[in-house]
Amino acid sequence: MAGIPTRGMRGSDLRMTTVARAAAIAAQLQEECSILIEHYRKKENFPPDVSDGPLVSVPPPSSQLDTRDKLWRLHSALEQCHSLLERAIAKEEEELGGEEKGEYENRRKTVKERLLFLLNHTRELLRAADGSSIFTPSLDGSELDDPATLFQLKWWVYRIFMEVKYWSQTAIAVLQELQSDTAKTPSKLSKRSARR
């Protein structure tokens, strides 16, 4: 289980294990998300790409961000993705009907659970870096514009799925970078957090 220390493991080993696990989960999420999007796209006859802007609001990527900042940015985005996904599912069930649990509903549920699993891992990594509770952006209903029509709702859901896929890809990259960094300097994150 993520976040549960393994007896006999050093801190750096544990972190390495968590990072590796998180990267594996991200890869799995990306694959499952791709399948979900493909399924949804065919179901709704949507084009493969969406030109609308992002739904997730995070600081822009920068070469000046260090690994920990990238991790925080990633975690923040994943938090928002999860929140959006939960809202999307609720809205879909409310507006479009979702009593019957078909293949789409099952895939959607899997993606949501996988995303939550990844989120727990990134939270764990941030805690390991900070040693304290982390700030995560809150996403209450007032900050989000719910789609006004059914058609908008469908597109909104599609965009959320795309967003989750994008951030799962980003997660893979960030976590791989973190993996290599941790391998080089195992206590880098800790030192940095101590400085702060």
Give the binding site for another protein (CB under 8 A): 44-45, 47, 95-97, 148-155
C-beta closer to another protein: residue 154 or 165: 154
Using an 8 Å Cβ cutoff, are 118 and 26 in contact? Answer: yes
Smallest separation (angstroms) from another protein to the CB of 105? 13
Please report how close the Cβ of residue 38 comes to another protein at its closest, in angstroms.
17
Closest CA to 157 of 76, 86, 51: 86
Could you tell me the smallest distance in angstroms from the CB atom of residue 151 to another protein? 4
Cβ closer to another protein: 38 or 94?
94
Rounded to whole angstroms, how far apart are CA atoms 100 and 93?
10
- For residue 82, give both structure tokens: 């999860």
Chain center to CA of 149: 27
**Nearest residue (CB) to another protein, 70 versus 154:** 154
Closest CB to another protein among residues 6, 152: 152
Give the C-alpha separation, 31 to 137, whole Å: 26
Q: Are 153 and 28 spatial neighbours (Cβ–Cβ below 8 Å)?
A: no
CB of 163 to another protein, least distance (A): 17
